[in-house]
C-alpha cells in the first residue's frame, strides 16, 4: 500500500465505516496506477449548462445557472476556471468566470463531502441578479478561455483543444 493511500484511509475511516481498509486501499492503489498510466494523455472535457434553478419571490437572486463539466478518464483536474459568455434570444449577453472543484482523481463516485456523485464530474452555479439568463432553454454559451492544472501541469484548455461545450448549449 502506498503512503498516499494509507493517509487517505486514515482520513476516510474517521468519517465513514462502510468499507473495509483492504477494499478501500486496493481501490486507491488501482486508481493511482491508472492515473499514472493516463498521465501522458490529456482527458477530454465537456462543459454543459445543465439546468437553471429559479429563485423564490423577493430574493436578491433571480436564478442560478447550473454548469457541469465531465471528463472521460481518470486524471487529476484541478483549479479549472472557464470564462464563458452567456447569451439569450433577446440579444443580452454577459461574461462569467466559472470555478470548479477538483475532479477525475478517483473512481469512488462520491463528492468531496462523501455524497454519491460521479468522480468524473464537477459542478458550479452562476448566480443571476437579473432575469436575462433565467428562462430555461433560452440561454446559450460560448467558451472564451479555460485553464486548469491537469496531472500537476498548468494547461490552456482551448489551445490544447481538450475542452468543448456540450453541443446543445453552445453558440
Render pLDDT for 60-99 as a digit per residue (tens, 0 to 9).
889 999 999 999 999 999 999 999 999 999 999 999 999 9
| 50 and 23 in a common domain | no
| 107 and 62 in a common domain | yes
Q: What's the grid cell of residue 126?
A: 452562476
| 63 and 121 in a common domain | yes
- The residue ranking higher by pLDDT, 16 or 9, is 9
pLDDT given for residue 65 in this prediction: 95
Q: Which of 4-8, 82-86, 166-170 has the highest mean pLDDT?
A: 82-86
Q: Is the pLDDT of residue 123 over 90?
A: yes
Q: How many domains does the chain have?
A: 2
| Structural domain for 2, as ranges | 1-38
| 148 and 99 in a common domain | yes
| 149 and 92 in a common domain | yes
| 100 and 27 in a common domain | no
In the chain, what is the straight-line distance between the N-terminal and C-terminal CA atoms, in Å?
Answer: 48
CATH number of the domain to which 114 belongs = 2.60.40
| 147 and 127 in a common domain | yes
pLDDT given for residue 122 in this prediction: 94
% the chain with pLDDT above 70: 91
- The residue among 129, 113, 110, 112 whose CA lies nearest residue 78 is 112
**β-strand pairing of 45-54 with 153-156:** unpaired
pLDDT given for residue 32 in this prediction: 87
| 17 and 65 in a common domain | no
Q: Is the pLDDT of residue 21 over 70?
A: yes
pLDDT given for residue 115 in this prediction: 67
* Alpha-carbon span 35 to 147, nearest angstrom: 20
pLDDT digits (tens, 9 = 90+) for 125-143: 999 999 999 998 899 999 9
pLDDT digits (tens, 9 = 90+) for 31-48: 888 888 888 889 999 999
Q: What's the grid cell of residue 103?
A: 475532479
Report yes or no: 39 and 151 within 8 Å, Cβ to Cβ.
Answer: yes
Mean of all residue pLDDT scores within the chain: 88
pLDDT given for residue 114 in this prediction: 64
| 83 and 2 in a common domain | no
**3-state DSSP percent of the chain in helix, strand and coil, to 5:** 20, 40, 40
Report yes or no: 57 and 69 within 8 Å, Cβ to Cβ.
Answer: no
Amino acid at each position: 500500500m502506498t503512503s498516499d493511500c494509507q493517509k487517505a484511509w486514515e482520513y476516510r475511516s474517521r468519517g465513514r465505516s462502510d468499507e473495509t481498509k483492504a477494499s478501500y486501499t486496493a481501490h486507491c492503489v488501482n486508481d493511482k496506477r491508472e492515473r499514472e498510466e493516463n498521465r501522458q494523455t490529456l482527458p477530454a472535457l465537456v462543459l454543459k449548462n445543465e439546468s437553471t434553478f429559479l429563485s423564490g419571490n423577493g430574493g436578491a437572486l433571480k436564478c442560478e445557472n447550473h454548469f457541469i463539466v465531465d471528463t472521460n478518464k481518470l486524471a487529476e483536474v484541478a483549479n479549472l476556471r472557464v470564462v464563458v459568455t452567456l447569451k439569450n434570444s433577446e440579444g443580452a449577453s454577459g461574461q462569467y468566470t466559472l470555478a470548479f472543484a477538483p475532479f477525475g482523481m478517483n473512481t469512488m463516485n462520491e463528492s468531496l463531502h462523501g455524497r454519491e456523485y460521479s468522480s468524473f464530474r464537477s459542478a458550479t452555479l452562476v448566480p443571476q441578479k437579473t432575469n436575462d439568463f433565467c428562462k430555461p432553454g433560452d440561454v446559450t454559451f460560448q467558451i472564451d478561455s479555460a485553464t486548469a492544472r491537469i496531472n500537476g501541469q498548468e494547461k490552456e484548455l482551448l489551445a490544447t483543444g481538450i475542452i468543448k461545450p456540450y453541443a446543445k448549449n453552445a453558440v
